[in-house]
Chain A
């Protein structure tokens, strides 16, 4: 880690510097560097296999980088922590493939996500039961699943599962949300709603959204980073990035 503390570092909620990950010699991330500011919303685009999901795996402790720094809040080294500790720090994640607890009700999915003690002891002796209902209701309201609260998560539609997972993130109330392809498989109408939902979440949280849908990215109205072969190809406002020659060539032009 560099000994000089740059202002970039101290003002960031997430700081990646020279991060590399290889799988059997194949470099999924190749000296990737990126800075996300406090309260910032950032869209990440890039072709299949660019390393977007791998980047999230590194940030959340699922994959250990071979090289590079990953710092949270300017000082916490994420490369040494496991998933649960990173989640406790305040980083929440939505998977690319919607992942909810299928045999639990919508209500219980939110309940399990709700901020609070997470230890086996506390859950065994009932402390986790003391979640305030109004907080849960508020989340359900936000994601529009209030009328479905008693249904099993398995019975929800694809789009509803995506929302439920976003709702679980909200309930967790992290400082930083990592959202992987939230509108995959959604109708145009649902996509619009999701963009509005994320935009409102971004008012109070730092959010990183990975998405292929350019209409959606445009609707988010935030800074865009394009990844390609494990490193940053272009970064900036949506109009600048989407007209960048290299971006058009490797991604948009296909």
Chain B
């Protein structure tokens, strides 16, 4: 299925994958092989920063799958991202072992501090990488499945659905703030030492994590692309356009939505899991409502329902955010708001679609003028086509 998708890819998708491939080769090369003083060197902090953007891009693609193709405006995708991040964080905490401040071989520092005597059940198995990776998929996926099961069956749609997704992430925010939940309270999980036995601060580990993010993004894109170009995807779009028409045609709308929502949540979980080792911390603020809303803005900026646009939007907006928060820390929030307003007003279809429509017009014009030069249609040259 994935192979077919690669073969059938449109030019936009090909360019996207080529860029990803180039980035996966060039960034490590410029970091590891070019000496630190050189103008061409990519410093390690930048590698991790780019890696972080790629995780956001994967989150954006996950969101675009449900919002762009099925009309489910989720304002809670940050929660799935954070849950994936916590699953990875728990693995990383267990890897610290006796190297913590309290030198407890089993319990992470915060548990010792809270006088916990043994590892809570929720933490069992997280010392094993495969189990933790399974949880990266299962925990967000299961939450999305259960949430979607109830929401879609009761036919909650539109603004109401957006509001309850927002409520979901807010509830998780409050829950994860509590110390007795056993996930580190408001400090979250941090001070990671190594991953799969490699020092997490090491340059080579950082590069490996970056490459893993590129691969995850490419895979996520291909899975989403395979879904939306299949007959399933046609039904999704049909549901987005005219939900009741699809129902009266015999499609079980709630199941179609549930599949997309669950897959999307798993994808967001993977993004979160790759994000955590690259930024070195996960705490409840990742569940903040604003994070989920920002993700929606990335997708809107890049172009809803294009996948590639969503990824592009995530990278561009976050790059602008990094730059603005550095240059003018006070105005970033206003910058983001202004960006959203401007995009809605002037690029309602997002960057990608506006660009492709513009280039289509250009080539139409070129074709028209070429035809005019060749003398074809010279008799009835439509006005304004010159």
- A residues bordering B, Cβ < 8 Å? 60, 62, 82-84, 87-88, 92-93, 95, 99-104, 108, 111-113, 118-120, 123-129, 168, 172
Point out which of A108, A118, A123 has the most chain B C-beta atoms below 10 A from its C-beta.
A123
Could you say which residues of chain A place their CB within 8 Å of the CB of B246?
101, 112
Which stretch in B106-114, B225-233, B295-303, B375-383 binds the other chain? B225-233
B→A interface (CB under 8 Å): 1, 227, 230-232, 234-235, 237-238, 240-242, 244-253, 255-256, 258-259
- A103: contacting residue among B1, B227, B237, B245, CB under 8 A: B237
Cβ–Cβ contact A101 & B250, under 8 A: no
A83-B244, A93-B248, A100-B242 known, 9 other contacts, Cβ within 8 Å: A84-B247, A100-B245, A111-B231, A112-B235, A118-B250, A119-B255, A123-B235, A126-B230, A129-B231
Pick the 6 closest A-B CB pairs, nearest first.
A87-B250, A128-B231, A123-B232, A123-B231, A124-B232, A83-B247
B155 smallest CB distance to A (angstroms): 10
- Chain A residue with minimal CB distance to B252? A84
What's the Cα separation between A168 and B234 when bound, in Å? 15
Shortest distance between the CB of B179 and any CB in chain A (Å): 41
Partner of B234, one of A62, A92, A104, A120: A104
Which chain A residues border B230 with CB–CB below 8 Å? 123-126, 129
B231: which A residues are within 8 A, CB to CB? 111, 123-124, 126-129
Contacts of B237 in A (CB 8 A): 101, 103-104
Q: Tell me the bound Cα distance from A62 to B243 in angstroms.
A: 12
- Which residue of B is nearest A109, CB measured? B238
- Please indicate the chain B residues that have their CB under 8 angstroms from the CB of A102 in the complex: 241-242
Partner of B250, one of A84, A124, A129: A84
CA gap between A62 and B155 in the complex, in Å = 12
Closest to B242 in A: A99
Give the docked Cα–Cα distance between A120 and B231 (Å): 9
Nearest B residue to A90 by beta-carbon distance? B250
Distance in angstroms between the alpha carbons of A247 and B273 in the assembled complex: 70
Complex CA–CA separation, A108 to B242 (angstroms): 14
B256 to A: closest C-beta gap in Å = 5
Please name all residues of chain B whose beta carbon is closer than 8 Å to the beta carbon of A87 when the two chains form the complex. 247-250
CA distance A113 to B237 in the complex (A): 14
A and B contact pairs by CB, cutoff 8 A, 22 listed: A60-B248, A84-B247, A87-B248, A88-B250, A92-B248, A99-B244, A100-B245, A102-B241, A103-B237, A103-B240, A103-B241, A104-B234, A104-B238, A111-B231, A112-B246, A112-B249, A119-B255, A120-B252, A124-B259, A125-B1, A129-B230, A129-B231
The interface residues of chain A lying within 8 Å CB-to-CB of B235 are 112, 120, 123
A20 to B248 alpha-carbon distance, docked (Å): 22
A101 touches B232 (CB 8 A): no
Residues on A with C-beta less than 8 A from B258 are: 120
